[in-house]
A and B are shown apart, each in its own frame.
Chain A
Amino acid sequence: MTGVAATNPDNAQGEVVIRVRGLTMGFDDLVLMRNLNFEVRRGEIFVILGGSGSGKSTLLQHMIGLYRPQAGHIWVAGADITEAEGAQREAILRRVGVMYQMGALFGSMTLLENARLPLEVHTDLPREAMDAVARARLQLVGLGAFADFMPSEISGGMQKRAAIARAMVLDPEVLFLDEPSAGLDPITSADLDRLIQRLARTLGMTIVIVSHELASIFAIADRVIMLDKESKGIAAEGDPATLRDTSDHPWVQRFLRRTDSDQERSA
């Protein structure tokens, strides 16, 4: 796995894992974003940032092929997911993991069964091995003791962590996380940030996060793109701290600095 070596965020020459070209997306007559172009490199923590309703989650759903774009292409791990069908599409999806906004754990299954499901579908491992892998993933997110619990018996933060365990049970190349820290307390959220960093740095996973939690973004993001609802495009792209200090885009400044000053006030 060449990716492990390429985890240095400053390494702008890293292999491109996701390439978005000329992407226009929306629903029916509504256009959310027009002509988006960006790349995600192997091993980086890439954050899609934007205000409510700017189309962050929709962009993520396009990147995992849930929706067809109005125009443009998205290559994930070398294949165009906007045109892939059937087996080709499945082969791409086999290599990505997704955590949905609300976790989307199956309520009728225990955490272990939830985490084991992708293995049952995609591998021929013996049952004993599947159980071991699923349990280890739960342990990695700190839920090793809760394997036999139903999702309704654990807290919201635990559900999100269990959903991450399920998303990465197949060792995906790219892990998509939709609002991982939304609705979590600062301590749980910081734990989650550490987990995400650990996955990227030591297991070499590429991680794409949709978020608007600034504290967590400044802590972990290697690169961000900021979606601007007004111009229907990318307002800024780069390392978050640099953007905050150097960007002259008024909306970017307002977005990144306002909460920053809030943090200083509360500090």
Chain B
Amino acid sequence: MDSTAASAEPPFEYDATVDPAPRLRLSGRLDVHAVEQHWGPLRRRARDLGQQAAGAVLVDLRGVEYCDGAGAALLHALEQDFARADAEVQFEGMSRMVEEQLAPYRELDAVEPARAADGRGWWQGWMDGVDRVGRAAHSQFSFVGELTQAVGSALRHPRQVRWGDTLRVAEAAGFQALPIVSLIAFLLGVILAFQSAIAMRQFGGEIFVANLVAVSLFRELGPLMMAILLAGRSGAAFAAEIGTMKVNEEVNALKTMGLDPVRFLVLPKVLAGLLVAPLLALYANMIGLIGAAVVMQGFGIPWVAFFNQVTSALSLSDLFSGLVKAVVFGLVVATVGCLRGLQTGSGAASVGLSTTSAVVTSIILIVVLDGVFAVLFYHLGV
């Protein structure tokens, strides 16, 4: 209704009388505004009237000029209030419109929910949980199996790999990550050097900051920071991309065209992850060293002295143990991102869940694997 028409019609009013017979008279526009105002008071009045009536109550609707869905909700609630007070309600002068609006409310009283309320016990809930964990484990194992198979087949038939896609992903995950990797690695080097130099200065050993920074960056922090950045940037992107394809049935379209989603979507991303992770880690190490060298200028250690010290402190095993870790981390981030993408359910919210889960799972696995590597390298004497 536009406002001029609304003001031309009388506002909603009601009055209740007990003598000579219990009677509730409604008039005017029974619309959402009227219901907002009168829902509580009118229903209380109706309950009182119902109790006093002890028999039939007449509800006079002759004056109701307009009734919308909310108005009908109020009428239906009144009907129920009277019924609860054991009063029989009789409507008088109900227009076609009110009848039509009221119909679905009355029908609903007889409608059974299509799904019974969840009345299962804790045992069933617990078993469902076990079932879910089992299914998740199953899908992860079979995914790893399919991926291994795809990698094996790619090794035997390298021409079947979609190298164009692989390079595009590598560019997005690797080259385009250089600015943020630079920033973080540089600051990491600066912070490490600064914090350790303050302590070392007390012993006159500022030069050994180079050893500390180089070894911790190459063996530990370079690959770790790179992997966390990769998980946040690219693992999330993989999950969101594949998840959206899943929601839009693009993954099903691939399957029906005879294209294996693992080979078509996942393999290029995993190969790209394997390719860029060690390169990014190496790059992060270099930038971190530059950051440390800049700080050491302030402590009176010249560039040449710093880098001489770095080369004497680092062994090949430091370099390679870091790179091995980086490769494994890259594999984990890309694989988890793709797996979570393929596990996406339906709807926009599940894409969000997959993306979150991809990043969280990746970071947990990275940290756990980092611990495993520490023990392994210790026992291997690397």
Contacts and interface: CB of A to CB of B under 8 A. Distances in A.
Interface of A: 1-2, 4, 77-78, 107-108, 123-126, 128-129, 132-133, 135-137, 139-140, 144-152, 168-171, 173, 198, 202-204
B107 A139 contact: yes
Given A132-B76, A136-B105, A139-B107, A147 B69 contact: no
Contacts of B66: 1
A135 B347 CA distance: 23
B128 interface: no
B32 A125 contact: yes
B353 to A, nearest CB: 10
A148 B115 CA distance: 8
Contacts of B156: none
B105 A132 contact: yes
Contacts of A151: 347
21 contacts: A1-B97, A4-B97, A107-B347, A107-B349, A125-B35, A125-B70, A126-B40, A129-B73, A136-B72, A139-B105, A145-B114, A148-B115, A151-B347, A170-B69, A171-B68, A173-B1, A202-B97, A202-B100, A203-B97, A203-B100, A203-B101
B197 to A, nearest CB: 52
Contact of A108 (B39, B105, B347): B347
Contacts of B36: 123-125
A137 B69 contact: yes
B74 interface: yes
B32 A136 contact: no
Contacts of A152: 345-347
Contacts of A125: 32, 35-36, 39, 70
A129 B100 CA distance: 18
Contact of B114 (A78, A123, A146, A203): A146
Interface residue tally on B, bucketed by range: 35 or more
Given A125-B35, A125-B36, A136-B105, 15 more contacts: A1-B1, A1-B65, A1-B66, A108-B347, A124-B36, A125-B32, A132-B105, A133-B69, A135-B108, A136-B108, A145-B112, A148-B115, A149-B115, A168-B69, A171-B68
Contacts of B113: 145, 147-148
Nearest to A109: B349
Interface string B224-252: 00000000000000000000000000000
B111 interface: yes
B62 to A, nearest CB: 16
Nearest to B95: A4
B333 to A, nearest CB: 27
A170 B96 CA distance: 19
Nearest to A141: B104
Interface centre among A1, A78, A128 (most CB of B within 10 A): A1
Contact of A133 (B70, B103, B111): B70
A126 B69 contact: no
